[in-house]
Amino acid sequence: MSQFTHLDETGAARMVDVGAKEVTERVAIARAEVHMLPETLRLLREGGHKKGDVIAVARIAGIQGAKKCSDLIPLCHPLMLNSVKVDFEFDEASSAVAITGQCKVSGKTGVEMEALTAVSVAALTLYDMCKAIDRGMQIRNIGLVEKLGGKSGHWQREDGE
């Protein structure tokens, strides 16, 4: 058998059969950073009420993105998310916005891809809204932070990874 679970023994892609897997409570947390010019971050921060919509739009885009995951990632299973949360933190030291996404499901497959899609789409939306003033922005370090549930159990990114 192939070491890639999404390929069969001939190398053909397939949606892995999860029929025999147990339904368990599953949680995944992912993270992304949007690096920008200090001036761009300042504009985002000090906007207060008036600029509130930038973060609100990115948040909604992230939540909607999590729901579109199985439409975007070809071998992902459709699933019924129990919850999605997307949070933003301003990090002046590194001139970046850190985005955290958490997804939960009672299901047969994990929600890592949903959480990763949420933070990726939220980050792309932030880029879209700021690109007229800062085209060189970069999205960095999209990765899984933690996962719970399922056969592989608890996994947590180690420091410095």
Residue list 3-22, contact with a second copy (CB under 8 A): 3-8, 10-19
CB of 84 to a second copy, least distance (A): 4
List, in order, residues 6 or more apart from 111 with CB less than 8 Å away.
Answer: 26, 27, 28, 79, 81, 103, 104, 105
CB of 76 to a second copy, least distance (A): 6
List, in order, residues 6 or more apart from 146 with CB less than 8 Å away.
Answer: 27, 28, 29, 154, 155, 156, 157
76 is in an annotated binding site: yes
Q: Does the footprint of a second copy cover residue 72 (CB under 8 A)?
A: yes
Residue of the chain from 22, 45, 56, 94 that contacts a second copy (CB under 8 A):
56
Q: Does the footprint of a second copy cover residue 123 (CB under 8 A)?
A: yes
Residue list 32-51, contact with a second copy (CB under 8 A): 43, 47-51
CA distances (Å), origin 71, targets 10, 49, 58, 65 = 25, 34, 20, 10
Beta carbon nearer to a second copy, 86 or 97: 86
Whole-angstrom distance, CA of residue 75 vs CA of residue 117: 14
Q: Clarify whether 87 is annotated catalytic.
A: no
Residue ranges at the known binding site for substrate: 75-77, 113-114
The residues that are catalytic are 128
